[in-house]
């Protein structure tokens, strides 16, 4: 049985604290996802933003990102952030989901489910 990419990442970081483990995994995911951004100037950044994936298409007027954000130590939220590129340059929170999981794998699965939902794939 072959391992998934997530399983491989979890094995590499299994001895780390949750926040450190999440940061390491999210940094690796971001390294793969960032080149796919069609509007990288709008990418949400900050010390507590662990993961931000663009979920809008290049032709969309609304630029949107799904963000995994640390709210406090070992507590996370998933945020849909968006902005109308014709009106302003400010990304605004549009929807927030509280993550009620305490394991990296479950947190990332929750994020993946929300990403599929906002992309219209679920």
Neighbours of 107 (CB within 10 A): 24
pTM across the whole model: 0.82
> From residue 97, how far is each of 11, 12, 16, 87 by CA, in Å?
27, 28, 25, 26
Domain, as residue range, for 59: 5-118
Distance CA 58, CA 53 (A): 13
Q: What confidence tens digit (pLDDT) does each residue in 28-83 have?
A: 999 998 988 887 888 889 999 999 999 877 667 688 999 999 999 999 999 999 88
Question: Over 60: is that where the pLDDT of 1 sits?
Answer: no
pLDDT at res. 83:
84
Helix axes 104-118, 5-13, angle to 10 degrees: 150
Q: What is the pLDDT of residue 114?
A: 95
Residue from 98, 101, 122 nearest 22 by CA: 101
Convert the pLDDT of each residue in 73-114 to its tens digit: 999 999 999 887 677 778 888 999 999 999 999 999 999 999
Q: What is the structure's pLDDT at 2?
A: 58
The number of distinct structural domains making up the chain is 1
């Amino acid at each position: 049985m072959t391992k998934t990419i997530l399983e491989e990442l979890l094995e590499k970081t299994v001895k780390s604290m949750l926040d450190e483990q999440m940061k390491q995994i999210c940094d690796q995911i971001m390294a793969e996802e960032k080149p796919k951004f069609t509007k990288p100037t709008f990418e949400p950044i900050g010390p507590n933003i662990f993961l931000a994936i663009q979920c809008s298409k290049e032709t969309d007027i609304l630029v949107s990102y799904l963000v995994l954000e640390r709210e406090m130590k070992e507590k996370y939220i998933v945020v849909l952030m968006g902005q109308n590129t014709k009106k302003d340059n400010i990304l605004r929170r549009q929807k927030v989901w509280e993550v009620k999981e305490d394991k990296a794998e479950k947190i990332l699965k929750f994020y993946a489910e929300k990403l599929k939902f906002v992309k219209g794939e679920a």
